Amino acid sequence: MQKKSMRDLDLDGKRVLVRVDFNVPLDNGRVSDDTRIRAALPTVNYLIERGARLILCSHLGRPKGRPSPVYSLRPAAERLSQLIRRPVRMAADCVGPAVREQAAALQTGQLLLLENLRFHPQEEANEAAFCRELAGLAEVYVNDAFGSAHRAHASTAGVAALLPAVAGFLMERELNFLGKALADPDQPFVAILGGAKVSDKIGVIERLLSTVDRLLIGGGMANTFLKAQGRTVGQSLLEVDALGLARKLQQQAGDRLLLPEDVCIADRFDAEAQTRIVGVDAVPDEWRILDIGPQTIARFTASLQNARTVVWNGPMGVFELPPFAAGTFAVARALAELPQATTIIGGGDSAAAVEQSGLADRMTHISTGGGASLEFLEGKQLPGVAALHDA
């Protein structure tokens, strides 16, 4: 899926509307995790170096279509300014006469960050007049927000129909790595899926089964597969409605699908809970599975040893609680130690787990899009990607 990039355009002196993903966590009015802002720096710096006048736009949180100081992007503007060591002007809104004046007054290399797009319900509705207002601020549109590309919103799809629309460097990198994993992965190709629900990843599993050599399943979704095999899972998270689907997928995958052999269980969902390691046939009725066990870790690690492409989406357990983080962090270590593999982390909780493990810099690519990554791996067309001009 080749899309035009910023390299294809003359940007000198142009007003460029850049859709970034500054949907960052805040703590007392400060950015507590600037990963997404840092991810946009290659695109921002390139545009500055090429003499563009930058108008950045993003959403933050779920303000439900009305202004709220809790969801202001001002802290993101302050953090970006620190990172690029130059002023970042902050607009009081994202549309309207005052914003138009600020955008028109920008000089070469200057930056303006618009206020939260979702302060207006027209953003998520992709309303035509709102799209025209945003597009009217600029002469070129760059989408660098892969994490929002699965949404057909004004700032991700609508504006792209009104301006020359190209991919930023982060968007380009996401499409290259995820696209190759889907279309032409180096073999052996191993996929690791975790997280809570099978139903969230049906399409991904079905798509991956057409290409993977092995599919490792952990996390809460493994419980449904284990139950489908007739095993008891106690009080563990379980999707009863997906049992038939789990049986069908296991039949389709055959011995390519690897499930936990042993698990870490607890008597309650709590970091202070009593824990045990048991085989998957020995989960007591009142206990719950919260992580994979050491035998499973060893088996999963061994199955990764000769991999050339690995895609990982979803943790192996409740890694946010230290007693149940061993499986997830062990998978991260196994990937970090693969000498020749392309390792792709599919955003969301997987990305958070890799960052927490301290091994993020040893992965080939960490996606910035949770839902977008899943939909892309499922083979769905992402509106924010489809809207960009083809190369």
Do 6-170 and 177-377 fold alike per CATH?
A: yes
pLDDT value of residue 282: 95
* 248 in active site: no
* 197 in active site: yes
Judged against a pLDDT cut of 90, whether residue 197 lies above it is answered with no
Domain boundaries, the chain: 6-170, 177-377
pLDDT value of residue 199: 81
Choice among 154-163, 203-212, 315-324 with the minimum mean pLDDT? 203-212
Tokens 């509106």 — which residue? 383
Q: 3, 36, 50, 227: which is the annotated catalytic residue?
A: 36
- The band of 368, judged by pLDDT with boundaries at 50, 70 and 90, is confident
Judged against a pLDDT cut of 70, whether residue 375 lies above it is answered with yes
Judged against a pLDDT cut of 90, whether residue 379 lies above it is answered with no
Short-list 143, 169, 203, CA closest to 365: 169
* 371 in active site: yes
Q: 74, 180, 197, 256: which is the annotated catalytic residue?
A: 197
pLDDT in tens, 308-366: 999 999 999 999 999 999 999 999 999 999 988 999 998 778 888 999 999 999 999 99
- The band of 130, judged by pLDDT with boundaries at 50, 70 and 90, is very high
pLDDT in tens, 242-284: 999 999 999 999 999 999 999 999 999 999 999 999 999 999 9
- Fold for the domain defined by 177-377: Rossmann fold (3.40.50)
**CATH 3.40.630.30 matches 6-170:** no
Residue 129's CB is within 10 A of a number of other CB atoms, namely: 9
pLDDT in tens, 83-129: 999 999 999 999 999 999 999 999 999 999 999 999 999 999 999 99
Choice among 78-87, 164-173, 251-260, 377-386 with the minimum mean pLDDT? 377-386
Residues near 162 by beta carbon (within 8 Å), at least 6 away in sequence: 131, 132, 135, 141
Q: What is the mean pLDDT of the chain?
A: 95
* Cα 24 to Cα 59: distance, rounded to the nearest angstrom: 9
Choice among 50-64, 288-302, 311-325, 335-349 with the minimum mean pLDDT? 335-349
Contact 327, 317 (CB under 8 A): yes
Q: 195, 218, 348, 384: which is the annotated catalytic residue?
A: 348
Judged against a pLDDT cut of 90, whether residue 200 lies above it is answered with no
* Token duo for residue 68: 């709220």
Choice among 37-51, 166-180, 195-209 with the minimum mean pLDDT? 195-209
* 179 in active site: no
pLDDT value of residue 1: 60
